Amino acid sequence: MSIQDEFDYIFKVVVIGDSGAGKTSLIKQFSLGEFDKEMRSTLGVELFVYNNVIADKKIRTQIWDTAGQERFKAVTNLYYRKASGVVLVYDITNHSSFRNLQNWLSEAQIHIDPDACVILLGNKSDLRHLRAVTRDEAEQFAKKHDINFLEVSAKDNANVKYGFESLISEIYHLHSFKQTEYECRQIQNGSVTLTSAQPYNAASISQEKLKQMREKCCS
């Protein structure tokens, strides 16, 4: 059985932001439940996986970590390719990591599907005595770009699970919505084929669901 058969959906999420913001720490906290104080950055892309279930659908999320290339502005097209979600990270104690968000977002937008879901995470919330970025300015940035925003701490494991899971849930809901639209169009065209050859790893539709959709779309 291949990975594609095992999961209803496989999503790719990329994590971007300045070096030192805590991207690797956040990913490790989320996918492995660990925080390593002596983090060394490695070279090459690192992949982490997270599996969960939403509405009876088995979801695998691949989380891509730049593993250091961001220091040389060498994050490539391949890294962004086919990502459905973006985690944009800055460090609340480092104002330049916040100022650079605009560059990161603009670069991501060049490479990524306009429908990709984005979340902004202000990391190191445990270091509130060293805060250099106010919650207010981060909220304004998020509002301007219509993205969700949370302050998190990889160290204290604060909001980390919630942040990543809400992104995955947003991606899932967008995909299942698009899938329903696609299926509706197929039904309207009279060309619906209930095979696995549908996009988004769609599970085959039951006759009952098909009937409901026909009523919804074709009335």
Q: Which residues bind ligand GDP (CB under 6 A)?
A: 19-25, 37, 39, 41, 123-124, 126-127, 153-155
Residue 99 has phi, psi (to 5 degrees) of -60, -30
Which of 26, 27, 70 is CA-nearest to residue 47?
27
Shortest Å, Cβ 135 to ligand GDP: 16
Shortest Å, Cβ 139 to Mg ion: 26
Q: If contact means CB under 5 to 8 A according to the sort of partner, which of Mg ion, ligand GDP, none does residue 153 touch?
A: ligand GDP
Output the CA–CA distances (angstroms, integers) from residue 150 to 20, 60, 188, 214, in the order listed: 18, 23, 41, 40
Which 52-81 residues touch Mg ion, going by CB under 5 A? none
Q: If contact means CB under 5 to 8 A according to the sort of partner, which of Mg ion, ligand GDP, none does residue 84 touch?
A: none
Query: Distance (Å, rounded) from C-alpha 184 to C-alpha 36?
Result: 48
Q: Are 132 and 94 in contact (CB under 8 A)?
A: yes
Q: If contact means CB under 5 to 8 A according to the sort of partner, which of Mg ion, ligand GDP, none does residue 21 touch?
A: ligand GDP
- Look at the alpha carbons of 30, 34, 37, 38 in this order and tell me if their dihedral is positive or negative: negative
State which residue, 7 or 104, has the beta carbon closest to ligand GDP. Answer: 104
Q: Is 31 in the site for Mg ion (CB under 5 A)?
A: no
Q: Is 24 in the site for Mg ion (CB under 5 A)?
A: yes
Strand pairing of 57-65 and 117-123? unpaired
Q: What is the DSSP letter of 154?
A: T
Instruction: Please identify which residue in 10, 20, 41, 107 interacts with Mg ion, judged by CB under 5 A.
Output: 41
Q: If contact means CB under 5 to 8 A according to the sort of partner, which of Mg ion, ligand GDP, none does residue 154 touch?
A: ligand GDP
Shortest Å, Cβ 93 to ligand GDP: 8
Reduced to 3 states (helix: H, G, I; strand: E, B; else coil), residue 14 is: strand
**Residue keyed to tokens 């492995």:** 32
Size of the site for Mg ion (CB under 5 A): 3
Which of 55, 64, 56 is CA-nearest to residue 11?
64
The encoded tokens of residue 30 equal: 């989320």
State which residue, 69 or 180, has the beta carbon closest to ligand GDP. Answer: 69
Distance linking the first and last C-alpha atoms of the chain: 39
Shortest Å, Cβ 136 to ligand GDP: 20
State which residue, 32 or 55, has the beta carbon closest to ligand GDP. Answer: 32
Which single residue brings its beta carbon nearest to ligand GDP?
22
What are the residues binding Mg ion (CB under 5 A)?
A: 23-24, 41
